[in-house]
Structure 1
Amino acid sequence: MSGPSLKKQDSHSSIHEAALNEAKELRQLFRKCIESDDVEKALQVAAVVIEHWESRTLQHAAAEEEGLYKDMVKENPQLERVVHELTRDHDLMRRIVSNMKERLHAEDVDNRMLSLLDSLIIIDEIHNEDEMNRLLTNSK
Protein backbone atom coordinates (compact mmCIF):
# COMPACT_ATOMS: atom_id res chain seq x y z
CA MET A 1 0.00 0.00 0.00
CA SER A 2 1.38 3.37 -0.96
CA GLY A 3 1.23 6.62 0.97
CA PRO A 4 -1.49 9.07 -0.03
CA SER A 5 0.95 11.69 -1.36
CA LEU A 6 2.28 9.25 -3.97
CA LYS A 7 -1.19 8.92 -5.53
CA LYS A 8 -1.80 12.67 -5.69
CA GLN A 9 -0.37 14.11 -8.87
CA ASP A 10 0.47 17.54 -7.42
CA SER A 11 2.28 16.32 -4.32
CA HIS A 12 3.98 13.48 -6.19
CA SER A 13 5.19 15.91 -8.83
CA SER A 14 6.59 18.17 -6.09
CA ILE A 15 8.61 15.26 -4.69
CA HIS A 16 10.09 14.59 -8.14
CA GLU A 17 10.76 18.25 -8.88
CA ALA A 18 12.61 18.86 -5.61
CA ALA A 19 14.89 15.84 -6.02
CA LEU A 20 15.58 16.62 -9.68
CA ASN A 21 16.41 20.26 -8.97
CA GLU A 22 18.87 19.18 -6.27
CA ALA A 23 20.41 16.68 -8.70
CA LYS A 24 20.87 19.40 -11.30
CA GLU A 25 22.57 21.68 -8.78
CA LEU A 26 24.92 18.89 -7.73
CA ARG A 27 25.67 18.18 -11.39
CA GLN A 28 26.69 21.80 -11.90
CA LEU A 29 28.93 21.69 -8.85
CA PHE A 30 30.55 18.47 -10.10
CA ARG A 31 31.05 20.01 -13.56
CA LYS A 32 32.86 22.98 -12.02
CA CYS A 33 35.19 20.63 -10.17
CA ILE A 34 35.98 18.74 -13.37
CA GLU A 35 36.52 21.92 -15.35
CA SER A 36 38.88 23.32 -12.71
CA ASP A 37 40.69 19.96 -12.52
CA ASP A 38 40.07 19.76 -8.76
CA VAL A 39 40.10 15.96 -8.42
CA GLU A 40 39.86 15.92 -4.61
CA LYS A 41 36.78 18.10 -4.57
CA ALA A 42 35.32 16.19 -7.55
CA LEU A 43 35.67 12.96 -5.56
CA GLN A 44 33.86 14.53 -2.60
CA VAL A 45 31.08 15.95 -4.77
CA ALA A 46 30.73 12.65 -6.63
CA ALA A 47 30.17 10.88 -3.29
CA VAL A 48 27.46 13.40 -2.41
CA VAL A 49 25.89 13.05 -5.86
CA ILE A 50 25.71 9.28 -5.51
CA GLU A 51 24.29 9.53 -1.99
CA HIS A 52 21.68 11.97 -3.28
CA TRP A 53 20.55 9.66 -6.08
CA GLU A 54 20.44 6.66 -3.76
CA SER A 55 18.66 8.35 -0.85
CA ARG A 56 16.28 10.55 -2.78
CA THR A 57 15.43 9.27 -6.25
CA LEU A 58 16.17 5.55 -5.91
CA GLN A 59 14.63 5.32 -2.44
CA HIS A 60 11.53 7.02 -3.85
CA ALA A 61 11.60 4.58 -6.78
CA ALA A 62 11.65 1.62 -4.41
CA ALA A 63 8.64 3.05 -2.54
CA GLU A 64 6.79 3.47 -5.82
CA GLU A 65 7.52 -0.09 -6.88
CA GLU A 66 6.58 -1.60 -3.53
CA GLY A 67 3.36 0.36 -3.11
CA LEU A 68 2.10 2.83 -5.68
CA TYR A 69 2.71 0.75 -8.78
CA LYS A 70 1.17 -2.39 -7.32
CA ASP A 71 -1.83 -0.41 -6.11
CA MET A 72 -2.32 1.29 -9.47
CA VAL A 73 -2.19 -2.01 -11.41
CA LYS A 74 -4.57 -3.60 -8.92
CA GLU A 75 -7.02 -0.72 -9.47
CA ASN A 76 -6.49 -0.70 -13.24
CA PRO A 77 -4.78 -3.76 -14.80
CA GLN A 78 -4.38 -1.86 -18.09
CA LEU A 79 -1.60 0.13 -16.41
CA GLU A 80 0.65 -2.93 -16.20
CA ARG A 81 2.66 -1.98 -19.31
CA VAL A 82 3.15 1.59 -18.09
CA VAL A 83 4.31 0.31 -14.71
CA HIS A 84 6.71 -2.08 -16.44
CA GLU A 85 8.19 0.82 -18.44
CA LEU A 86 8.47 3.04 -15.36
CA THR A 87 10.17 0.23 -13.45
CA ARG A 88 12.63 -0.16 -16.32
CA ASP A 89 13.50 3.52 -15.93
CA HIS A 90 14.28 2.87 -12.27
CA ASP A 91 16.45 -0.09 -13.24
CA LEU A 92 18.40 2.04 -15.71
CA MET A 93 18.97 4.70 -13.06
CA ARG A 94 20.14 2.06 -10.58
CA ARG A 95 22.63 0.69 -13.13
CA ILE A 96 24.00 4.14 -13.89
CA VAL A 97 24.40 4.95 -10.19
CA SER A 98 26.15 1.61 -9.70
CA ASN A 99 28.53 2.48 -12.53
CA MET A 100 29.19 5.85 -10.92
CA LYS A 101 29.97 4.16 -7.60
CA GLU A 102 32.48 1.89 -9.31
CA ARG A 103 34.13 4.92 -10.88
CA LEU A 104 34.19 6.72 -7.55
CA HIS A 105 35.84 3.74 -5.81
CA ALA A 106 38.44 3.67 -8.60
CA GLU A 107 38.81 7.46 -8.20
CA ASP A 108 37.92 7.78 -11.86
CA VAL A 109 36.00 11.04 -11.83
CA ASP A 110 36.05 12.75 -15.19
CA ASN A 111 33.83 13.85 -18.05
CA ARG A 112 32.51 10.30 -18.39
CA MET A 113 30.93 10.61 -14.93
CA LEU A 114 29.49 13.93 -16.00
CA SER A 115 27.90 12.15 -18.98
CA LEU A 116 26.47 9.55 -16.63
CA LEU A 117 24.96 12.31 -14.50
CA ASP A 118 23.44 13.89 -17.59
CA SER A 119 21.98 10.51 -18.52
CA LEU A 120 20.45 10.12 -15.06
CA ILE A 121 18.85 13.54 -15.27
CA ILE A 122 17.45 12.91 -18.76
CA ILE A 123 16.02 9.52 -17.79
CA ASP A 124 14.52 10.98 -14.62
CA GLU A 125 12.93 13.89 -16.48
CA ILE A 126 11.31 11.56 -19.02
CA HIS A 127 10.31 9.15 -16.26
CA ASN A 128 8.70 11.87 -14.17
CA GLU A 129 6.76 13.18 -17.15
CA ASP A 130 5.54 9.68 -18.05
CA GLU A 131 4.56 8.97 -14.47
CA MET A 132 2.51 12.15 -14.27
CA ASN A 133 0.93 11.86 -17.73
CA ARG A 134 0.48 8.13 -18.07
CA LEU A 135 0.01 6.84 -14.54
CA LEU A 136 -1.33 9.61 -12.35
CA THR A 137 -3.36 11.62 -14.86
CA ASN A 138 -6.63 11.21 -12.99
CA SER A 139 -5.20 11.58 -9.48
CA LYS A 140 -5.40 14.97 -7.85
Structure 2
Amino acid sequence: MSGPSLRKQDSHSSIHEAALHEAKELRELFRKCLEDGEKEKALQVAEVAIEHWESRTLKHAEAEEEGLYQDILKEKPELEKLVNQLTRDHDLMRRIVENIKMRLATQEPDYNMITLLDSLVIIDEIHNEDEMNKLLANSK
Protein backbone atom coordinates (compact mmCIF):
# COMPACT_ATOMS: atom_id res chain seq x y z
CA MET A 1 0.00 0.00 0.00
CA SER A 2 1.39 3.38 -0.98
CA GLY A 3 1.35 6.52 1.12
CA PRO A 4 -1.23 9.20 0.38
CA SER A 5 1.32 11.70 -0.96
CA LEU A 6 2.28 9.28 -3.73
CA ARG A 7 -1.35 9.06 -4.88
CA LYS A 8 -1.94 12.82 -5.00
CA GLN A 9 -0.66 14.28 -8.23
CA ASP A 10 0.28 17.70 -6.77
CA SER A 11 2.22 16.41 -3.78
CA HIS A 12 3.85 13.66 -5.82
CA SER A 13 4.91 16.19 -8.44
CA SER A 14 6.38 18.41 -5.71
CA ILE A 15 8.51 15.51 -4.46
CA HIS A 16 9.84 14.98 -7.97
CA GLU A 17 10.47 18.65 -8.67
CA ALA A 18 12.38 19.23 -5.42
CA ALA A 19 14.65 16.23 -5.93
CA LEU A 20 15.28 17.10 -9.57
CA HIS A 21 16.08 20.72 -8.72
CA GLU A 22 18.65 19.59 -6.15
CA ALA A 23 20.17 17.14 -8.63
CA LYS A 24 20.57 19.89 -11.22
CA GLU A 25 22.23 22.17 -8.67
CA LEU A 26 24.70 19.43 -7.71
CA ARG A 27 25.46 18.75 -11.38
CA GLU A 28 26.17 22.45 -11.95
CA LEU A 29 28.38 22.66 -8.85
CA PHE A 30 30.30 19.58 -10.04
CA ARG A 31 30.84 21.19 -13.46
CA LYS A 32 32.07 24.42 -11.85
CA CYS A 33 34.53 22.52 -9.66
CA LEU A 34 35.95 20.76 -12.73
CA GLU A 35 36.20 24.05 -14.65
CA ASP A 36 38.02 25.64 -11.71
CA GLY A 37 40.42 22.69 -11.46
CA GLU A 38 39.17 21.77 -7.99
CA LYS A 39 39.38 17.98 -8.38
CA GLU A 40 39.10 17.24 -4.65
CA LYS A 41 36.01 19.41 -4.28
CA ALA A 42 34.58 17.89 -7.47
CA LEU A 43 35.05 14.44 -5.92
CA GLN A 44 33.19 15.54 -2.80
CA VAL A 45 30.35 17.02 -4.87
CA ALA A 46 30.14 13.84 -6.96
CA GLU A 47 29.85 11.78 -3.78
CA VAL A 48 27.08 14.06 -2.51
CA ALA A 49 25.33 13.79 -5.90
CA ILE A 50 25.46 10.00 -5.72
CA GLU A 51 24.11 10.06 -2.19
CA HIS A 52 21.36 12.43 -3.34
CA TRP A 53 20.29 10.16 -6.22
CA GLU A 54 20.34 7.10 -3.97
CA SER A 55 18.60 8.60 -0.95
CA ARG A 56 16.09 10.84 -2.69
CA THR A 57 15.20 9.73 -6.20
CA LEU A 58 15.99 6.01 -6.01
CA LYS A 59 14.46 5.56 -2.53
CA HIS A 60 11.36 7.29 -3.86
CA ALA A 61 11.46 4.96 -6.87
CA GLU A 62 11.61 1.97 -4.56
CA ALA A 63 8.55 3.20 -2.68
CA GLU A 64 6.72 3.66 -5.98
CA GLU A 65 7.57 0.16 -7.16
CA GLU A 66 6.66 -1.52 -3.88
CA GLY A 67 3.51 0.48 -3.19
CA LEU A 68 2.06 2.90 -5.70
CA TYR A 69 2.65 0.85 -8.84
CA GLN A 70 1.30 -2.32 -7.25
CA ASP A 71 -1.79 -0.49 -6.00
CA ILE A 72 -2.44 1.02 -9.42
CA LEU A 73 -2.00 -2.33 -11.18
CA LYS A 74 -4.58 -3.90 -8.87
CA GLU A 75 -7.05 -1.17 -9.82
CA LYS A 76 -6.10 -0.83 -13.50
CA PRO A 77 -4.19 -3.85 -14.86
CA GLU A 78 -4.28 -2.28 -18.33
CA LEU A 79 -1.54 0.11 -17.13
CA GLU A 80 0.97 -2.74 -16.82
CA LYS A 81 2.99 -1.70 -19.89
CA LEU A 82 3.32 1.84 -18.57
CA VAL A 83 4.31 0.61 -15.10
CA ASN A 84 6.95 -1.60 -16.71
CA GLN A 85 8.30 1.39 -18.63
CA LEU A 86 8.42 3.51 -15.49
CA THR A 87 10.18 0.71 -13.62
CA ARG A 88 12.69 0.47 -16.47
CA ASP A 89 13.40 4.19 -16.01
CA HIS A 90 14.22 3.48 -12.38
CA ASP A 91 16.50 0.61 -13.41
CA LEU A 92 18.36 2.84 -15.88
CA MET A 93 18.89 5.47 -13.19
CA ARG A 94 20.18 2.82 -10.77
CA ARG A 95 22.62 1.56 -13.40
CA ILE A 96 23.91 5.03 -14.19
CA VAL A 97 24.43 5.81 -10.48
CA GLU A 98 26.37 2.55 -10.12
CA ASN A 99 28.43 3.47 -13.18
CA ILE A 100 29.33 6.84 -11.64
CA LYS A 101 30.28 5.13 -8.37
CA MET A 102 32.53 2.66 -10.18
CA ARG A 103 34.21 5.45 -12.14
CA LEU A 104 34.87 7.44 -8.96
CA ALA A 105 36.41 4.37 -7.36
CA THR A 106 38.93 3.98 -10.19
CA GLN A 107 39.54 7.46 -11.58
CA GLU A 108 39.39 11.16 -10.87
CA PRO A 109 36.20 13.12 -11.50
CA ASP A 110 36.01 14.25 -15.12
CA TYR A 111 33.71 15.79 -17.70
CA ASN A 112 32.41 12.35 -18.77
CA MET A 113 30.69 12.17 -15.39
CA ILE A 114 28.73 15.31 -16.29
CA THR A 115 27.29 13.37 -19.22
CA LEU A 116 26.18 10.65 -16.82
CA LEU A 117 24.66 13.20 -14.43
CA ASP A 118 22.89 14.82 -17.40
CA SER A 119 21.57 11.39 -18.41
CA LEU A 120 20.09 10.91 -14.95
CA VAL A 121 18.36 14.28 -15.16
CA ILE A 122 16.97 13.61 -18.65
CA ILE A 123 15.64 10.17 -17.73
CA ASP A 124 14.13 11.55 -14.54
CA GLU A 125 12.44 14.46 -16.34
CA ILE A 126 10.83 12.14 -18.90
CA HIS A 127 9.93 9.66 -16.17
CA ASN A 128 8.30 12.32 -14.01
CA GLU A 129 6.29 13.66 -16.93
CA ASP A 130 5.04 10.17 -17.85
CA GLU A 131 4.22 9.36 -14.25
CA MET A 132 2.19 12.55 -13.78
CA ASN A 133 0.50 12.71 -17.19
CA LYS A 134 0.01 9.04 -18.00
CA LEU A 135 -0.03 7.08 -14.74
CA LEU A 136 -1.47 9.29 -12.04
CA ALA A 137 -3.83 11.07 -14.43
CA ASN A 138 -5.23 7.65 -15.49
CA SER A 139 -5.38 6.00 -12.10
CA LYS A 140 -8.20 8.08 -10.62
TM-score range, shorter chain: over 0.9
Is the CA contact 1:9–1:139 (under 8 Å) kept in the aligned structure 2?
no
Q: Which runs of 4+ in 1 moved over 3 A?
A: none
Q: Residue 34 of structure 2 aligns with which residue?
A: 34
Structure 1 spans left out of the alignment, 5+ residues: none
Give the drift of 1:69. Answer: 0.3
Preserved contact between residue 93 and residue 120 of structure 2 (Cα < 8 Å)? yes
1:117 is matched with which residue? 117
**Within 5 A, what are the aligned runs for 1:84-103?**
84-103=84-103
Look up the SS of the partner of 1:109 in the other structure: coil
- Secondary structure of 1:91's aligned partner: helix
Deviation at 1:59, TM superposition (A): 0.3
Equivalent residues of 1:8, 1:139 under 8 A apart? no
SS of residue paired to 1:128: helix
**Contact 2:31/2:114 (CA < 8 Å) preserved in 1?**
yes
1:55 is aligned to 2:60? no
TM-score normalised per structure 2: 0.97
Say if 1:139 and 1:11 are closer, same or farther in 2 by CA, change over 3 A.
Answer: farther
Equivalent pairs, count: 140
Contact persistence 2:6–2:12 (CA under 8 A): yes
SS in 2 for 1:108: coil
Equivalence for 2:73: 73
The answer for the alignment partner of 2:6 in structure 1 is 6
Percent identical pairs in the alignment equals 74
* CA distances 1:37-68 after superposition (whole Å, capped 9, x unpaired): 21100110000000000000000000000000
SS in 1 for 2:108: coil
User: Structure 2, unaligned stretches of length 5 or more?
Assistant: none
Structure with the greater relative contact order (CA < 8 A, sep ≥ 6): 1 or 2? 1
Once residues 29 and 139 of structure 1 are traced to their aligned partners in structure 2, the CA distance between those partners, rounded to angstroms, is 38
Distance 1:128 1:108 in 2: 31
> d(CA) in 2 for partners of 1:109 and 1:84?
33
SS in 1 for 2:2: coil
CA distance in 1, matches of 2:136, 2:61: 15
Amino acid in the other structure paired with 2:28 = Q
Deviations 1:61-83 (A, max 9, x none): 00000000000010000110000
Distance 1:42 1:107 in 2: 12
- TM-superposed CA distance for 1:17, in Å, is 0.3
Cα deviation, 1:83-125, whole Å, max 9, x if unaligned, reads 0000000000000000000111123310110000000000000
